[in-house]
Amino acid sequence: MLGRVKACLGPTDWIIMSRTILVVDDSESLRTMVKSYLVQEGFRVVTAANGRDAIFVARDEKPDLILLDIMMPELGGYEFMRIHSKEADTPIILLTARLEENDKVLGLELGADDYITKPFSPRELTARVRTVLRRSEKQGTEPNILRLGNIELNRDNRLVVVAGQSVELTALEFDLLAVLMESPGRVYSRLELLQKLQGVAYEGYERNIDVHIRHLRVKIEPDSANPRYIQTVYGIGYRFAADV
């Protein structure tokens, strides 16, 4: 059966589906359900019941993506992210039952690539997983190195250098900066940026772009309060300055 599925997929889809996913949640029933569904979709899945165990599983398995619960005993999702981000740049999708905007913003600030609110459908979860994996695996004909002003972005090693100094960005921040630098002067709406980053625009999520823009400015701008590179076009969205 799996062979027939493989024959129907393009090479990129097959590479994505064969990736390893770490599912971290203190609910055994949820871990079992998510693992069962993703395995049927062709993914390799490993699990952990809390953030502490997930640290060791991630070190051993080196997953391509992590599905991470926020509220867990022993070591919660946010604490896990703070530790893991120092060791690897793994895409993370948060699994959360908490609906407060501050919780979502904090997750994005810590480097999460996306979040999905419980309860969720297997179809939605799989779509999010594939989208984030495609973004992290994206290879194309884009130039490997972009240089504008004092900023150099290198796709090969996913490094950004500002005025000769290396700057550490999350995976999503890197991709967002790359999109803006590819077309200096072009104005993107928040929905357009979300579409390019996630492959689909989820209603109400476009304001998340503001969080990533704010953090990008802190990391790359000489003065984040008066941005030189990433400019706001009020009422529309953002652009990378064309005259740097």
- The mean pLDDT of 125-151, rounded to a whole number, is 77
Range of the domain at 34: 2-137
CB count, 10 Å around CB of 80? 26
Residue 92 — very low, low, confident or very high, per pLDDT cuts 50/70/90? very high
Structural domain tally of the chain?
Answer: 2
* Domain shared by 54 and 161, yes or no: no
- Domain stops at, among 98, 113, 137: 137
Q: pLDDT (tens digit, 9 = 90+) per residue, 178-214? A: 999 988 889 999 888 887 776 544 444 566 888 889 9
Average pLDDT, the chain: 83
Look at residue 115 in the predicted model and tell me its pLDDT. 83
* 126 class by beta-carbon count within 10 Å (0-12 exposed, 13-18 middle, 19+ buried): middle
Residue 155 — very low, low, confident or very high, per pLDDT cuts 50/70/90? confident
* Domain shared by 86 and 193, yes or no: no
Q: What is the CATH number of the domain that holds 28?
A: 3.40.50.2300
* Domain shared by 80 and 163, yes or no: no
State how far the Cα of 65 lies from the Cα of 98, in Å rounded to an integer: 21
Half-sphere exposure of 7 (CA within 13 A, CB side): 4
Q: What is the CATH number of the domain that holds 218?
A: 1.10.10.10
* Domain shared by 25 and 70, yes or no: yes
- Domain stops at, among 115, 137, 159: 137
**94 contacts 70 by C-beta, under 8 angstroms:** yes
SS (H, E, C) the chain: CHHHHHHHCCHHHHHHHCCEEEEECCCHHHHHHHHHHHHHCCCEEEEECCHHHHHHHHHHHCCCEEEEECCCCCCCHHHHHHHHCCCCCCCEEEEECCCCHHHHHHHHHCCCCEEEECCCCHHHHHHHHHHHHHHHHCCCCCCCEEEECCEEEECCCCEEEECCEEECCCHHHHHHHHHHHHCCCCCEEHHHHHHHHHCCCCCCCCCHHHHHHHHHHHHHCCCCCCCCCEEEECCCEEEECCCC
